[in-house]
Structure 1
Amino acid sequence: MDRWQAMRIFAKVAETESFAETARLMHMSAPAVTRAIAALEDLIGARLLVRTTRSVKLTEAGARYVADCRRILADIAEAEAGAAGSYASPAGTLAITAPSMFGHMHVLPIMTEYLDTYPKMSGRTLFLDRPVNIIEEGIDVAVRIGHLADSGFTAIKVGSVRRVICGAPAYFEKHGVPATPADLKGHRIAVSTSAWASPEWRFAGDQRMTIDAALQCNTVEAAIGTAKAGWGLTRILHYQIGPALVAGDIQIVLADFEEPPLPIHVLHPEGRHAPAKVRAFVDLAVTRLRENRLLN
């Protein structure tokens, strides 16, 4: 068995979650893909994939092994590129993930700049307000907001974001500006029920308050919209109102009572073994995000 080819096949099956699609993409027959995976499992002595009539999923051992396969295959590809003098010109596909609104506002412009710089590259984005399994989703680089669990991945801090309470100037003219967190009980509040939201608002000095919201919005954009319209107050991450702050459509209150900011990291799993395409994107992303005054 060609071990390198079997690893390529396994990595592609893990990415596509389909034997048939892998066969099509790699110009092979479906039985040949099945035989390669079976031979690899026999060699390793562990089940790598669970196959049902509807899907193909990685086992726990398969999830660990596919990460190693991708690193080894990337090393081989980079060695070949280096021998051909192609280190300066990454080629292939780069997959990135980030929180939805942050991705649209701050990561997408970096991705398009990267693609303009390296025309042999293509990109794939996964902007979601939920944790994404980098290995299972085949992600090369992630941008994460919040404190990170120990994963063994390479993480580079690029900035921070604050949780802020805000409203429109017209609202404060009519209802007054809260001077302390306790004053919020006398104000109308709209909250987002997104992944960042919580009915318990925390403040500096470990102060906590359970908010009885007058309006619950299923998107951050809707909560911000009600605040900009002067309907009430909301609490969001400060980068999300950057344009509205600059325009003067919204203002932050109770800044002296804010809890410590949340860190922003650029994360990737390969460490020093990262291929040229990942290193090039990470270098660009770190530079651009650190330059962004809204994130520092």
Structure 2
Amino acid sequence: MEMLVSSVEQGSLSAAARKLRIPVATLTRHINDLEALVGTKLLVRSTRKLDLTDAGADYLAAAKQILEQVDEQQRRAAGEFTAPRGELVITAPVQVARLRLLPVVDQFLAQYPEIRIRLLQSDRNVDLIDAHVDVAIRIGHLRDSSLVATRVGSLRAVVVASTELLTKRGMPATPEDLRGYPCVVFDSPNLSTWHFRNPDTGEISTIAEVPRLLVSSPDAAVDAAIDGIGATLVLEHDVAAAVSAGKLRHILQEFEVEPIPVHLLHLSRKVMPMKLRAFIDFAVPKLREKLAEFGRVPSV
């Protein structure tokens, strides 16, 4: 069942074999044995992709439920529901993990010696079920879901530019001044499109400028802005050090939108493992404290 689920999630038998660290021939044989056992085809295989048959789709849904039940029973047998122990899988955006979460994780591990943590750092939202994640830290407004969310703070999205660029191109007085202005865009779910709020009317506007440089990490956006390539929009904690050092300057502060919320998420469970309860109780107040210094829109 695990091999079937992995094959579908990965999109091919070879990709699933690599993830499971087994030969493709072994995985193929077990899938064939499973189909022989249930008496029907579950997968339609081509050179390019895998497709589920109707029976395969039904079986896959049931297999996921069964594997989840097996996993829960193994957790019970390991004592995870009677004491805080075992592996805890956490996912968080790269910079939030490095700047805000890791100090909390370090303190937590010192207090709970029987818990191990696997930290997945990604600026893309990881599926908690598919990736077997216990806890996620998410930046941005949440979509309706079955996840349990606890707000732990917020982060300002700020526009910054180097003194060199501002001297050369002028200080933008309004968001409209950014049209035609060289910009470095961090390609992320919350910052790819630049939003601004009119301080008088509260109206939200969008600047969809073609970037001079498009990057996939906030560090690269900040470095490019320091080099004078263009203005950039990043989260305040990404640029705090460069601003303090005088390498970059805030611009258009009075047009900032409301700070972006940060939540801690986990799956809804009938019975929560004690390692998860211990981490939530420990981390939520500490994350709120660490994020409290950010998220406040400056008075102008």
Same fold (TM over 0.5): yes
Aligned residues: 274
Superposed displacement of residue 116, structure 1: 2.4
Superposed displacement of residue 295, structure 1: 4.1
Indicate which of 174, 183, 194 corresponds to 1:180. 174
SS, match of residue 273 in structure 1: coil
Give the Cα separation in 2 of the matches to 1:126 and 1:182: 38
SS, match of residue 281 in structure 2: helix
Instruction: Map 1:256-275; keep pairs closer than 5 Å.
Output: 256-271=254-269, 273-275=271-273
AA aligned opposite 1:143? I
Q: In 2, are the aligned partners of 1:110 and 1:285 still within 8 Å (CA)?
A: yes
The answer to whether structure 1 residue 123 and structure 2 residue 123 are counterparts is: no
Indicate which of 289, 292, 295 corresponds to 1:291. 289
Q: In 1, are the aligned partners of 2:179 and 2:207 still within 8 Å (CA)?
A: no
Instruction: Map 1:149-188; keep pairs closer than 5 Å.
Output: 149-173=143-167, 175-185=169-179, 187-188=181-182
Give the Cα separation in 2 of the matches to 1:82 and 1:184: 54
Give the Cα separation in 2 of the matches to 1:65 and 1:254: 53
Q: In 1, are the aligned partners of 2:147 and 2:267 still within 8 Å (CA)?
A: yes
Instruction: Map 1:220-239; keep pairs closer than 5 Å.
Output: 220-239=218-237
Q: Higher helix fraction: Structure 1 or Structure 2?
A: 1
Instruction: Map 1:58-207; keep pairs closer than 5 Å.
Output: 62=60, 66=64, 70=68, 73-74=71-72, 77-78=75-76, 81=79, 87=83, 89-91=84-86, 93-173=87-167, 175-185=169-179, 187-198=181-192, 200-204=193-197, 205-207=203-205
Superposed displacement of residue 187, structure 1: 3.5
AA aligned opposite 1:207? S
> Quick one: percent identity of the two aligned structures?
30
TM-score (norm 2): 0.71
- State the partner residue of 1:27: none
Q: In 2, are the aligned partners of 1:142 and 1:267 still within 8 Å (CA)?
A: yes
Q: In 1, are the aligned partners of 2:80 and 2:274 still within 8 Å (CA)?
A: no
Superposed displacement of residue 207, structure 1: 1.6
Give the Cα separation in 2 of the matches to 1:117 and 1:238: 31
Superposed displacement of residue 232, structure 1: 2.8
Superposed displacement of residue 73, structure 1: 4.8
Contiguous gaps of at least 5 residues in structure 2: 8-15, 198-202, 296-300
Q: Cα deviation per residue 1:207-263 (whole Å; 9 max; x = unaligned)?
A: 222213333334322211122234431112223223333444323211221223321
Contiguous gaps of at least 5 residues in structure 1: 1-9, 24-29
Give the Cα separation in 2 of the matches to 1:51 and 1:77: 34
AA aligned opposite 2:242? A
AA aligned opposite 1:182? E
TM-score (norm 1): 0.72
Give the Cα separation in 2 of the matches to 1:240 and 1:147: 19
Give the Cα separation in 2 of the matches to 1:186 and 1:213: 10
- State the partner residue of 1:3: none
In structure 2, relative to structure 1, the CA distance for the partners of 1:178 and 1:67 (3 Å cut) is: farther
Give the Cα separation in 2 of the matches to 1:277 and 1:14: 26
Superposed displacement of residue 37, structure 1: 7.6
